């Protein structure tokens, strides 16, 4: 049996040799920029100081010193709370809004209108967070568009300083991420929808199904595999709540709810030249991501028979 399987794999590689040659540049890129840098993880166990001879570094005793600094820090629990909260908000809103947008966009029958809506929805993705946060800051300022509308409709008596209220910060980050990425994230769902057999919709029309009924009973079940695969992959990034929007929109009044793990690394790691602590945080995030993605993959395979591998 192993011999047969080995021959089968070799035969497939031979038949698909053009495809294997095409992925060689990608394999080289991943190896150089994703695997070679892993040698830098040794910094987490050293008192790393940049110098011409990078091999001469002082090893810490105990080796878990920088991890202890992270876990025993007074900042650890608050930044974990902020990171998990904003990641969960981004995951739920990002997934649900992208899927809903793809479903609604697929229902537009006028091709010209559909193209315009698609183009407009993609545009925020190509803005840097610096520009996007500047626009968000202007929109939410005391004399911004939102406060002007609220006061013109007599919904508030005085301007609301949105970015100065900690209880609104997570919602602002979540909505900002949806605005910036919803159109771009919907592309893969639109591609999956385009692969659905049109005869399924024709049969539903004969049975008298409406648009929403077809979306619920045909479109969503047909793209279930795509949704689950993307969900599993995104769960692995749950500790990557982001850095730019929190750092750019946060201020002294909201810093307690704005600081995430990535912001912590910038401030207490790179900002204080404590590169070893920053590396330790990166290792911790990687370990958690691996555990989460394998757990999500296992649960998905167990309950839905769908998985990454």
How many domains does the chain fold into? 2
**Tens-place pLDDT, residues 41-69:** 888 998 888 876 767 788 888 888 889 98
Same domain (yes/no): 116, 29: no
Same domain (yes/no): 298, 150: yes
DSSP E strands, the chain: 46-47, 58-59
- Which two tokens mark 180? 């910036």
Q: What's the mean pLDDT when you consider all of the chain?
A: 88
Same domain (yes/no): 186, 55: no
Same domain (yes/no): 59, 95: no
The model carries a pTM of: 0.85
pLDDT surpasses 80 at 5? no
Average pLDDT over every residue of 183-200: 91
**Tens-place pLDDT, residues 101-160:** 999 998 888 888 888 998 899 999 999 999 999 999 999 998 889 999 999 998 888 999
- Which two tokens mark 181? 């990425």
Same domain (yes/no): 109, 14: no
**Is 253 among the domain residues?**
yes
Q: Look at residues 24, 48, 63 and tell me which one is the last residue of a structural domain.
A: 63
pLDDT surpasses 70 at 309? no
Asked whether 213 and 204 are in contact (CB, 8 A), the reply is yes
- Domain span holding position 152: 70-303
**Is 239 among the domain residues?**
yes
**Is 309 among the domain residues?**
no
**Percentage of the chain modeled with pLDDT above 90:** 41
Same domain (yes/no): 28, 95: no
């Amino acid at each position: 049996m192993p011999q047969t399987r080995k021959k089968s794999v070799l035969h497939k590689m031979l038949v698909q040799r053009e495809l294997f040659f095409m992925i060689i540049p990608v394999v080289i890129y991943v190896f150089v920029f994703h695997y070679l840098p892993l040698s830098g993880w040794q910094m987490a166990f050293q008192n790393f100081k940049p110098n011409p001879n990078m091999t001469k570094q002082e090893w810490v005793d105990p080796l878990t010193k920088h991890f202890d600094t992270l876990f025993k820090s007074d900042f650890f629990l608050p930044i974990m709370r902020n990171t998990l909260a904003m990641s969960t908000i981004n995951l739920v809103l990002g997934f649900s809004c992208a899927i809903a947008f793809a479903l609604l966009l697929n229902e537009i029958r006028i091709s010209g209108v559909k193209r315009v809506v698609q183009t407009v929805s993609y545009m925020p993705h190509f803005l840097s967070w610096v520009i996007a946060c500047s626009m968000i800051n202007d929109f939410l300022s005391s004399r911004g568009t939102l406060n002007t509308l609220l006061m013109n409709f007599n919904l508030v008596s005085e301007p609301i300083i949105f970015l100065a209220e900690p209880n609104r910060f997570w919602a602002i980050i979540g909505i900002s991420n949806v605005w910036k990425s919803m159109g771009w994230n919907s592309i893969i769902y639109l591609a999956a929808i385009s692969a659905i057999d049109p005869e399924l919709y024709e049969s539903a029309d004969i049975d008298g199904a409406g648009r929403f009924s077809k979306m619920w009973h045909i479109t969503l079940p047909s793209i279930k595999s795509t949704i689950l695969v993307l969900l599993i992959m995104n769960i692995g990034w749950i500790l990557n709540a982001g850095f730019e929007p929190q750092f750019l929109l946060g201020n002294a009044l909201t810093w307690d709810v704005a600081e995430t793990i990535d912001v912590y690394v910038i401030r207490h790691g790179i900002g204080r030249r404590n590169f070893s602590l920053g590396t330790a945080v990166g290792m911790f995030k990687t370990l958690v991501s691996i555990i989460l993605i394998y757990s999500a993959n296992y649960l998905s395979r167990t309950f839905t028979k769908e998985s990454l591998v």
